[in-house]
Structure 1
Amino acid sequence: MISKPLTTQLQKLLRSDVQSMHAYAIQSAAGMVKLDAMENPYPLPAHLQEVLGQRLGALALNRYPDGRVNDLRHALADYAQMPEGFDIMLGNGSDELISLLALACAIPGASVLAPVPGFVMYAMSAQLQGLSFIGVPLTADFELDETAMLAAIAEQQPAIIYLAYPNNPTANLWDDEVIEKIILAAPGLVVLDEAYQPFASKSYIDRIVKHSNVLLMRTLSKFGLAGVRLGYMMGPKALIAEIDKVRPPYNISVLNCECALFALEHRQVFAAQAKELIAQREWLQSALANMAGVKAWHSDANMILLRVDDAAKTFDAMKARGVLVKNVSKMHELLANCLRVTVGSAQENAQLLAALKDSL
């Protein structure tokens, strides 16, 4: 069926900046070794699948979500060891929380600032809510440019600053002293995005009590529940209470809620998976370090950024060999000829290395 273009009348109804945007692209992974989206490769064990299925089948799907969501908030607060005096807010993935932050801070002339290259949703959410986005380039080795960051903060006075910890797609943790200087210089909110916390060597959780303007955001996607779509954000109670006012009612479905609660009850299963993935990451980094024609950066996440001579050619060749990774070379000039690979199972990582070697 041939798709017809929008009529002139309909074009006038839609924002011109939205029409000029590109939708978030999701690669087809049918029949591929899927190593492009930082997913946990391990499914829920069969015996837990059966128990979870029984719990989900007993839910009142004909009713709106109820106080069970508060049970999840308390369980997540316990899991994350949330400090006293703080509160927690849930989102349909971290993406929704990022959008809600932009909505809550959408005062005329407001802006969002983040290091680049970084997570694309920071800029996209700002644009969709009418805020300007300021991207401050990282250094050539993907570290925070302290001088440039502080100068941009002083000049632009951003309402929100995002610091991914570790960063996507570079997978590195940044210097804590530089982060503290940025927080002290910030006129508005600073959001520490710890999406990859299960694989990181450290967290900011113990330091958020020092600052009244810092929010810490996480997701259960990397924990092992990418399909459940559940993010959460912690911060001072008064601050969370204000941001929570723009959250849609019932944004967490009863199915998502129960899946998350079930996973937290069996957190040791997911902790063991994370431990295995960290071991696989170390093995993969060691193998990449000895591969000619590849430069790989140290990772504190479940992904590794690497540079090859020709990213597009290597990506296509790997895909032809049944291995799907992410070509990030066009995202930012600092990522020239870079690919981002997800750390998978032992078998998947072996297939990745073989496909990469053959494709160089």
Structure 2
Amino acid sequence: MRNVCTAAPQLAGLEPYDPKYLPAEAFLSANENPHDVEQDIRAEIMREVKRVPLNRYPDPLANDLRDMIAEANGLDRDQVLVGNGGDELLFNLALAWGGPGRTFLNLPPTFSVYDANARLTNTTVVNVPRREDFSIDEEAVLARLDEGDIDFLIVTSPNNPTGELANEEFILRVLDATDALVVVDEAYFEFSRQTMRPYLAQHKNLAILRTFSKAFSLAGVRMGYLLADAEVVREFVKVRQPYSVDAVSQAIARVVYQNRAKFEPGIRTIIEERTRVIEGLRMIPGVKPFPSDANYVLFHVENAAQLWEMLYGRGILVRDFSRAPHLKDCLRVSIGSPEENDAFLKALRDAVMGKCDLKVPSA
């Protein structure tokens, strides 16, 4: 049997994205919405799905859904693009604006997929690290942009995994300082109530990324969308995979978007629970939660990796960032149901106070 030649050189040393999807009683690691889609909406989804001809290819650009999103945002269809989750759109960004001889400005710690996509496309990555409190080093970013060689950057607001909003005035200064494509990742904007949408008309180099996965409880469906100038959208269309968003997902997303107001009570509950979880974390000795405008909270605690194992021993899965660059001894907890949040806070307090055995259940 012959061997196989090596994969592309840019894959060397690149670690696959690993969401640590493990069995648990309380899934508080992936920033999912703890509330599933309500039964009346599910029934409407089933009726819509039954009408989908499964033997036909889907509308390649999901134009019905584009029209709905455009109307809701005061835009035209050609200023909206739908993707197979925000992840597809992020990879398309690296394909369209990155590549050999191109440069991406990254603001770590942030979503690790940005850096991975750049490296996969042979894009040069320039890092401007955040400050110790995870705020953006605004003057350092502007100084780096002033060198003139940046092709695109992503400002995540709220930032993942740290949770804080980017300063609106800073983003406007960035937009005025460069002709690079400035993508504002607003995957969690429904929980922050802040968006750069009002500035799209004045800034051709602004693009906004959003998702159905969080506020609209569709993490299992994979649906994201981009708001941008029509010329920017056309460049994204050139690199996207044909039929990347299947007909069933389009049908589900149309129903959910039509009913998006019904998700508002659940969003408000998550925001209220976020405040309660932060206060609960502050009351545990040695735990430092960071401010959050999203549906998760990053917190610092000594021996974080061991505490992660203790929590998992109690059936509670949170995200371990303790070995990630810039995030030593940090864990991130998604806001769950009130019962899940209570169980998490109690288990963490017990672990910190030495009342919890180190035990990890078998997978």
| Alignment TM class, shorter chain as reference | over 0.9
Matched, 1:353 2:345: yes
Alpha-carbon shift at residue 84 of structure 1 (Å): 5.8
Residue type of the alignment partner of 1:150: L
- Aligned partner of residue 198 in structure 2, secondary structure: coil
**Equivalent residue runs for 1:312-327 within 5 Å:** 312-327=305-320
Residue type of the alignment partner of 1:252: V
**Equivalent in 90, 99, 103 of residue 91 of structure 2:** 99
Give, in whole Å, the separation in 1 of the partners of 2:61 and 2:154: 30
Alpha-carbon shift at residue 68 of structure 1 (Å): 8.5
Alpha-carbon shift at residue 307 of structure 1 (Å): 0.6
What's the counterpart of residue 261 of structure 2?
A: 268
Contact 2:24/2:312 (<8 A) preserved: no
What's the counterpart of residue 4 of structure 1?
A: none
Give, in whole Å, the separation in 2 of the partners of 1:201 and 1:308: 29
**Equivalent in 340, 344, 351 of residue 336 of structure 2:** 344
Alpha-carbon shift at residue 50 of structure 1 (Å): 2.9
What's the counterpart of residue 293 of structure 1?
A: 286
Matched, 1:90 2:88: no
**Equivalent residue runs for 1:234-249 within 5 Å:** 234-249=227-242
**Equivalent residue runs for 1:299-310 within 5 Å:** 299-310=292-303
Contact 2:90/2:114 (<8 A) preserved: yes
What's the counterpart of residue 28 of structure 1?
A: 21
What's the counterpart of residue 160 of structure 2?
A: 168
**Equivalent residue runs for 1:7-156 within 5 Å:** 9-10=3-4, 12-66=5-59, 69-79=62-72, 81-83=73-75, 87-155=79-147
Contact 2:321/2:331 (<8 A) preserved: yes
Give, in whole Å, the separation in 1 of the partners of 2:21 and 2:234: 39
What's the counterpart of residue 211 of structure 2?
A: 219
Alpha-carbon shift at residue 55 of structure 1 (Å): 2.3
Greater percentage in helix:
1
Give, in whole Å, the separation in 2 of the partners of 1:160 and 1:146: 16
**Unaligned runs of at least 5 residues, structure 1:** 1-6
Residue type of the alignment partner of 2:280: A
**Equivalent in 322, 326, 335 of residue 329 of structure 1:** 322
Give, in whole Å, the separation in 1 of the partners of 2:75 and 2:63: 17
Q: How many residues align?
A: 351
Give, in whole Å, the separation in 2 of the partners of 1:233 and 1:40: 21
TM-score using structure 2 length: 0.92
Give, in whole Å, the separation in 2 of the partners of 1:126 and 1:324: 29
**Unaligned runs of at least 5 residues, structure 2:** 353-363
Q: Deviations over 1:161-220 (max 9, x none)?
A: 100011000110122222222222223100011000110131111122221111111111
Give, in whole Å, the separation in 2 of the partners of 1:58 and 1:211: 40
Give, in whole Å, the separation in 1 of the partners of 2:137 and 2:299: 21
What's the counterpart of residue 358 of structure 2?
A: none
Alpha-carbon shift at residue 344 of structure 1 (Å): 0.7
Change (3 A) 1:282 1:84: same
**Equivalent in 271, 276, 281 of residue 278 of structure 1:** 271
Alpha-carbon shift at residue 82 of structure 1 (Å): 3.8
Alpha-carbon shift at residue 8 of structure 1 (Å): 8.6
Contact 2:151/2:180 (<8 A) preserved: yes
- Aligned partner of residue 59 in structure 2, secondary structure: coil
Give, in whole Å, the separation in 1 of the partners of 2:168 and 2:40: 42
Contact 1:162/1:190 (<8 A) preserved: yes
Q: Deviations over 1:234-255 (max 9, x none)?
A: 1111221222111122111011
Give, in whole Å, the separation in 2 of the partners of 1:336 and 1:107: 31
Further displaced range: 280-289 or 15-24: 15-24
Give, in whole Å, the separation in 2 of the partners of 1:8 and 1:104: 36
- Aligned partner of residue 252 in structure 1, secondary structure: coil
Q: Deviations over 1:59-96 (max 9, x none)?
A: 111100038821100112233x1446961011111111
Give, in whole Å, the separation in 1 of the partners of 2:156 and 2:2: 41
Change (3 A) 1:338 1:344: same
